[in-house]
Amino acid sequence: MKRIFILIILALVIGCDNQNSTGGEEEQPSNTIVPKERVETVETPKPSPTVTPTIQTETSTPSTLPSPTVSVQPTEVINSNKTLPDVDKVITGTYIYPWSNPLNSGTAEVTKISTNKYHLNVSVVHGFGHNIGEIDSDFTYDGKNFVLLNDQYKIVTISFTDYTLTIDYPGEGFGGAGAEPKGTFYLKNSGVDDAPFLRTLYEKLKLRDQYRHGFTDVLTYNINKTQKVLLVRSKGSINRTQIVAESLVLYDTSNQIFDVLGEVNSHKSQEILKKLESLKASPELIYQLLHKDYADRFIELEMKRFDNGDRTVGEPDKFKLTDAEAFYIVTGIEGATSTSNNKRNSDNIGSIFKTEVDHSDNKTVTIHIYEIVRNDKDDEHTATADWLELDRSTGEVSSMIFDK
């Protein structure tokens, strides 16, 4: 009887040990991520974009070309401390790299296919060599794991916060030099249904409803590990391709607080500039935030020149813009040095708006923006909106009226 009792005790002990050894977490496939509580960290994966653009041709090894105007913020991997509820783990929309421009950019599109099934398309372009990287795959989310369904991307992991998408994998393999499609992408636009992060931002800005629901883009720029500057660009209600309003907002990821820096326009540029300088933003970043269109068009011209064999790109002592190129930077109109927009009525009353190259020398191009106002047959006069001076070497534009 005693022997039977001992055997029963031994059986119970062995059973408990077996249960403890098999009752833990299930082994996860290599292409999944188990969402965890997130802690704000910044990590720069290797390789990362550099401040100078990478140039690569089919017959040469990568080399660098200095350019005073082309800056890239390092690709980073961020884990936000703002954990999303399971129902909102996947935020659909368009995500972009911080400080994306025509020379160095990364875009990730997340769309919903069906319940718990989505599609991810990532495209990265880097350098004058036009190096590219791409990821394209459906993925699922079951409330616990993100699983990419294309076997090609088994090593790729993805995760979301309320405003970021982070893509990571060991080493290289899906892109050219400097164009690996990984790192942290920031929410730019979530389409008709504004994501919670964007709704909160829009409320802070008091953004009118006509500019919401997919008609405003948010571009992210890094100041430091926890502070981001958001460039909020709204499109017109009539012409949806035209940017009609821009604002800058400081976002602190450590406490999720928005601080509106102000509206971007000529009249307030000095006020915002001082705020950005107090944040220790670089001169290149400040120019990009206050004059993004100008900065991007100059980069486009540099790339076009380089593609056509011009090797003075990046050398301010040798590189010179033409009058027509300077005019393009300011207006976006190619092959011209003047433009006119007649807004007068049938009685010839009203204004004619004009922008034209007024004069230039070896160093600068001066552009006059004005209107010819006609109130009646005896009252016609000219009203200046701005005088712009453009540096032929750097492409930088300054207002001779407001940047004083």
272-315 tens-digit pLDDT: 999 999 999 999 999 999 999 999 999 999 999 999 999 999 89
Two structure tokens written together for 89: 């783990």
Q: How far is CA 288 from CA 31, 163, 209, in A?
A: 37, 22, 27
> 46 versus 152: which is more confidently predicted?
152
75-125 tens-digit pLDDT: 444 444 455 544 458 999 999 999 999 999 999 999 999 999 999 999 999
Q: Cα 232 from chain centroid?
A: 11
Q: Residue 127's pLDDT is what?
A: 96
> Of 8-12, 75-79, 324-328, where does mean pLDDT reach its minimum?
8-12
Two structure tokens written together for 401: 């009226």
CB-based contacts of 87, cutoff 8 Å, min separation 6: none
Q: Calculate mean pLDDT across residues 141-158.
A: 94
Position 231 pLDDT exceeds 70: yes
> 75 versus 33: which is more confidently predicted?
75
Position 73 pLDDT exceeds 50: no
High-pLDDT (> 70) share of the chain, %: 78
List, in sequence order, every beta strand (DSSP E) within 8-72: 32-33, 42-43, 54-55, 63-64
Give the separation between CA 404 and CA 387, rounded to whole angstroms: 12
Q: Residue 83's pLDDT is what?
A: 52
> 101 versus 64: which is more confidently predicted?
101
Q: Residue 88's pLDDT is what?
A: 59
Q: Shortest CA distance to 395 belongs to which of 304, 311, 305, 330?
A: 330
Peptide bond preceding 170 in cis form (omega within 30 of 0):
no
Indicate the average pLDDT of the chain: 84
In the chain, the N- to C-terminal Cα span, in Å, equals 102
Position 38 pLDDT exceeds 80: no
Give the separation between CA 33 and CA 167, rounded to whole angstroms: 11
207 contacts 85 by C-beta, under 8 angstroms: no
Q: Residue 200's pLDDT is what?
A: 97
Burial class of 335 by CB neighbour count within 10 A (0 to 12, 13 to 18, 19+): exposed
Two structure tokens written together for 330: 């300011």
Secondary structure letter of residue 348 according to DSSP = S
237-283 tens-digit pLDDT: 888 889 999 999 999 999 999 999 999 987 778 899 999 999 999 99
Position 135 pLDDT exceeds 90: yes
CB-based contacts of 17, cutoff 8 Å, min separation 6: none
Beta carbons within 10 angstroms of residue 9's beta carbon = 10
Q: Shortest CA distance to 133 belongs to which of 166, 76, 177, 103?
A: 177
Give the separation between CA 61 and CA 171, rounded to whole angstroms: 19
Q: Helix or strand or coil: residue 128?
A: coil
DSSP 302-329: HHHHHHTT-TTTT-TTT----HHHHHHH
Strand 93-96, strand 77-78: pairing: unpaired
Strands of 257-263's sheet, edge to edge? Answer: 216-222, 227-235, 243-252, 257-263
Burial class of 112 by CB neighbour count within 10 A (0 to 12, 13 to 18, 19+): exposed
Q: Cα 298 from chain centroid?
A: 17
CB-based contacts of 259, cutoff 8 Å, min separation 6: 249, 250, 251, 252
Residue type (1 letter), 94: T
335-392 tens-digit pLDDT: 999 999 999 999 999 999 999 999 999 999 999 999 999 999 999 999 999 999 999 9
Q: Calculate mean pLDDT across residues 31-50.
A: 34
Two structure tokens written together for 16: 């408990």
Position 220 pLDDT exceeds 80: yes
> 30 versus 133: which is more confidently predicted?
133
